[in-house]
């Protein structure tokens, strides 16, 4: 039954259109931008994590609303000139929201592969000439921020947090003794 629920959760995110004019890298990025958050959401069902599911709703919704709000306010032209909604990258925001949810809620052991996929999504957007590095990095930061604000670790002996202060950028590793 849990498998059926997980498959239905994947359907919640809609069908991913594969563009016959796009190359394999662009299409793979488009698929992963849906698969990563869908996997994160499905994990909440597979692990019967109702609290995590509510945290996912908040984090994913905040990333989506922020991203598309900024796209409509800023109106930055995309590198290929197709539209004025390049900033920030929605693909990156969605992928990093899903990856960071898995990391934050269930641990880096589970989040690392999702982050690798999210990085690929960002790369695919630059490769396809749909976004530049600023668009992709901002989308990624929006996805990360929503999750780190709304998601709490389930049972996480080591917590990894980003650090940005003045001219210092790094990670904080924290554990309870």
**In sequence order, what are the residues at sequence separation of 6 or more whose Cβ sits closer than 8 angstroms to the Cβ of residue 23?**
127, 128
In terms of residue numbers, what domain contains 65? Answer: 2-175
**Total domains, the chain:** 1
Tens of each residue's pLDDT in the chain, 177 residues? 444 444 444 444 444 555 656 688 888 898 999 999 999 999 999 888 999 999 999 999 999 999 999 999 999 999 988 999 999 999 999 999 999 999 999 998 889 999 999 999 999 999 999 999 999 999 999 999 999 999 999 864 555 567 677 777 766 656 554
Q: What is the pTM of this model?
A: 0.78
Torsion angles phi and psi, residue 174, rounded to 5: -135, 140
- 8 A C-beta contact, residue 103 and residue 111: yes
């Amino acid at each position: 039954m849990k498998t059926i629920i997980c498959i239905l959760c994947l359907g919640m995110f809609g069908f991913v259109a594969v563009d016959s004019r796009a190359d394999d890298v662009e299409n793979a990025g488009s698929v992963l931008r849906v698969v990563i958050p869908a996997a994160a959401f499905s994990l909440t069902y597979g692990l019967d994590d109702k609290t995590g599911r509510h945290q996912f709703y908040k984090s994913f919704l905040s990333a989506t609303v922020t991203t598309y709000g900024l796209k409509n306010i800023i109106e930055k032209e995309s590198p290929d000139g197709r539209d004025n909604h390049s900033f920030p990258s929605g693909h990156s925001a969605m992928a990093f929201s899903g990856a960071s949810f898995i990391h934050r809620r269930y641990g880096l052991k589970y989040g690392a592969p999702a982050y690798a996929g999210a990085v690929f999504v960002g790369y695919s957007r630059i490769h396809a000439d749909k976004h530049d590095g600023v668009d992709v990095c901002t989308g990624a930061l929006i996805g990360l921020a929503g999750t780190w604000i709304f998601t709490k670790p389930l049972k996480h002996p080591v917590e990894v947090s980003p650090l940005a202060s003045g001219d210092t950028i790094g990670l904080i590793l924290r554990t309870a003794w």
